[in-house]
Amino acid sequence: MIDVLLVEPDRVLGGIYERALKDAGHTVRIAGDAQNAVQMIDERRPDVVVCELILGEHNGVEFIYELRSYADWSDIPIIILTSVSPEDVGLNAKQQASLGVVDYLYKPQASLQQIVKSIQDVADAK
């Protein structure tokens, strides 16, 4: 069981992912935007951050860079779970790895099973 911070602006989708991850035995908190996510990480450091890249006012990639700029948080694994395809983001595998992105899941194609597995991989690596 690990502590997951889900950064997901769509409340309905957030609720669905939360249910699936809780059913798999994980603790889940949801942040609706980047600002809220930073506050939540400050309150309690999560084991993994699962992050959408379309975050309203903020760009998700900027949020990831911000996270990496803090020494205490620079090693938190990040899973990108987004509606933006990797080609559109322009983040290649090397850049993802350098940012500590352990998995890139494209929402329209990522099943709950795949999402749970990706989190489990982080738990197993701990």
Partner 1 sequence: MREGSSGFVVADKNLRLLRALAAELRTPLIQIARRSELASVSKQQNQASQLRDIETTADAALRLVDSYLFSTQVLLGQQRLPLEPVSVGATLYDTAQYLRRIAKLYQCDIDINISRHAGLAMANRQGLQAALTSLAYSMINSGGEQHRIVLVASKTNQGITAGVTTTNKQMSRSSLKVARQLFGMARRPLKESQTNGAGIYVADCLFEAMNAPMKVTRRQGSAGLAAVLLPSRQLALL
Interface with partner 1 (CB under 8 A): 9-13, 16-17, 19-20, 23, 32, 54, 56-57, 83, 107-108, 111-113
State in angstroms the smallest separation of the CB of 8 from partner 1: 10
DSSP letter, residue 72 = G
**Please, which residue, 85 or 92, has the CB nearer to partner 1?**
85
Q: Which residues contact 114 (CB under 8 A, 6 or more apart)?
A: 105
**Please, which residue, 73 or 106, has the CB nearer to partner 1?**
106
What's the Cα-to-Cα distance from 97 to each of 20, 64, 112, rounded to whole Å?
26, 12, 23
State in angstroms the smallest separation of the CB of 18 from partner 1: 10
The whole-angstrom separation of Cα 113 and Cα 121 is 12
